[in-house]
Homo-oligomer: A and B are copies of this chain.
Amino acid sequence: MSQDQSPATPQRLTPQSEDFSKWYGEVVQRAQLADHSGVRGCIVFRPYGYGIWEHMQRLLDRRIKATGHENAYFPLLIPESLLQKEAEHVEGFAPQVAWVTHGGNKELEERLAIRPTSEAIICSMYSKWIESYRDLPVLINQWANVLRWEMTTRPFLRTAEFLWQEGHTAHATAADCQAEVLRMLEVYRDFVETELAMPVYPGPKSDAEKFAGADMTYSIEALMKDGYALQAGTSHNLGQHFAKVFDITYQDEQGVRQHVWQTSWGVSTRLIGGVIMTHGDDHGLQLPPRIAPVQAVVVPIWRKPEDRGSVLAFIEKVKEALGDRVRLLVDDREQYSPGWKYYEHELRGVPVRLEVGPKDVEKSAVMSVRRLDRKKESIPLDQIATRLPALLEEVQADLFKAAQELRAANTSSATSIEDLVRHFVTEGKRGFVALPWTGDARLEAEIKERCAATLRCIPLDQSPFDGLAPAGGRVALFARAY
């Protein structure tokens, strides 16, 4: 079959500037990241979308283990009586719980919740396992599905069932506990910035925004291309709330019974949504190379049938030279034209395309094209094994830089609630706005009411906001958020 019997070029995506939300839905569907299922609020993670998650898992799991944690697995179902032990916790989650009432063909004596999060079931085990100071710290993580009955759902960003990891640790002292909270927040920052090329502000949230049952919640906050903030990960200091209601105690070195101090922390498949909205453009998805299932796609090009053999033979040499250094896809489908393939792999966000035509074969080189800016560079075969991995790292760095610039251009400051109202409401702007902050909960509620903007976090690193807050004071970041 010749290369020009190709189907018509598919319809263009809705531009981001026209309807960002529609653009998002089209990218998710057409890049085959996910599909709606027949189950309310639940999506199917298609192989390409799940492949991104697998790379995220691999890169984060490594960091979780390097900081001394082990993985375990706790039951999906939580008896209602356990979930109700911690009052704030149940109040926060009860409206979102799906309940199992029948098993086999019988009605259960006690309803079972599908876990919306696993503090309750894990604490019930920790109270059995922890006896002595020698058992501490307990550093356990779980990769699992959880379910929260959401009213409005959106692929990856907010779905009834989602996938995540949840760390649950127990410590002897408040200081050890707080050190763990900050350690995992930093693990998340490093993971998200390094691997997903998504710049984030890490910092504590306000009381109004903290996790149900926590003393204190820290988050990393990212900015999407439409100016909305995305909470990309959280690390909670649970203090002794759960230890007291679940009776988790240890005998200290002096033989005295003490309650443990606990943390929990998690990131979820929501990060896939974050990647789409941080890097995507009007051509579609754009994947940071480190988490891209396909890092480079090879497109063979020929017009004369007699060129086909030499082009394909040359591509074999390229594959061989690269070995497993790069996740490579050779798109040798014959029913599609090269142009059609360019379009498709741009839509799917493949970071680099390698074009191989008769002229390239003649020069013993491939023509690389960056998805980010279509910058071309001819790479000789004998340099491909080192140059292509380097090029991918350059793309990774440039994506991060572009996202940082976008965030800088969309971060402003305010000195009063009136400034915020003008920004978010009158002028209809988005982005982060830094406001000097002393912790006034009533002001926070008023801002939420009047601006539909929430306090995202109080950045741990205040240096980008130097001079905005009065001496010794700090700023908080406000934004409309997903």
Q: Which residues of A contact B (CB under 8 A)?
A: 35, 37-40, 42-47, 50-51, 53-54, 70-79, 82, 94-105, 111-112, 114, 121, 124-125, 128-129, 134, 140, 144-145, 147, 149, 151, 160-161, 163, 335
Contact = CB atoms under 8 A, between A and B. Distances in A.
A104 B93 CA distance: 9
A62 B111 CA distance: 39
A46 B140 CA distance: 9
A37 B98 contact: no
Contacts of A103: 40, 97-99, 149, 160
Given A82-B38, A100-B114, A102-B99, A44 B72 contact: yes
Oligomeric state, in number of copies? 2
A160 B40 CA distance: 25
B44 A163 contact: no
A99 B101 contact: yes
Contact of A145 (B50, B98, B145, B151): B145
A72 to B, nearest CB: 5
B73 A50 contact: yes
Contacts of A163: 73
Given A35-B125, A37-B74, A99-B101, 7 more contacts: A39-B78, A46-B72, A76-B114, A76-B161, A98-B100, A103-B160, A144-B145
A75 B35 contact: no
A395 to B, nearest CB: 24
Contact of A42 (B75, B95, B99, B105): B75
A75 B44 contact: yes
Contact of A39 (B45, B77, B161): B77
A73 to B, nearest CB: 4
A124 to B, nearest CB: 6
A128 B98 CA distance: 27
21 contacts: A35-B125, A38-B82, A38-B124, A39-B75, A43-B75, A44-B73, A44-B75, A44-B125, A47-B72, A50-B71, A53-B73, A76-B114, A77-B98, A95-B105, A96-B104, A97-B103, A98-B112, A99-B101, A99-B103, A100-B114, A101-B101
B128 A35 contact: yes
Contacts of A95: 104-105
| Residue among A44, A75, A76, A98 with max Cβ neighbours from chain B (10 Å) | A75
A51 to B, nearest CB: 7
Given A100-B114, A149-B104, A161-B77, A125 B50 contact: no
B149 A42 contact: no
Nearest to A97: B104
A122 to B, nearest CB: 9
Nearest to A101: B101
